[in-house]
Amino acid sequence: MRSKHVPNRRCVVCGTRAPKRELQRVVLTEAGTVAVDESGKRAGRGAYLCERPLCWQKAAQGKQVSRALRADLHERDIETLMAHADSMAGTSKGQA
């Protein structure tokens, strides 16, 4: 019996490859804002980040997410990424 194909994705910050369900998706919505896509099925261009709070912090400061989404990040988008990083920091520790 063949095993089911599991799609892999890459964290845009640290480059870690993992199954799609183990990474978190950030999506550029139709309104032009960045949102964390908890379901992984939201419409819009997406980029994946691993569960490390440090990757989320670097994503907010760097150009990786902006490049992956093919859009400039606005202040509110950076705040969204930082808020998610802060919420993760209390639950897990990690480094890129």
Length of the chain counted residue by residue: 96
Q: Is 15 left (phi over 0), alpha (psi -120 to 50) or beta?
A: left
Q: Please tell me the distance from the alpha carbon of residue 52 to that of residue 59, in angstroms, as a whole number.
A: 11
Among 7-11, 18-22, 51-55, 84-88, the minimum mean pLDDT is found in 84-88
pLDDT of res. 12: 96
Which domains are seen in the chain, by residue range?
8-89 (3.30.1230.10)
Residue type, 4: K
Contact 35, 29 (CB under 8 A): yes
What would the two tokens of residue 90 be?
A: 């209390």
* Confidence class for position 19, pLDDT limits 50, 70, 90: very high
DSSP 5: P
> Mind listing the pLDDT tens digit for each residue in 29-67?
999 999 999 898 899 999 999 999 999 999 988 899 999
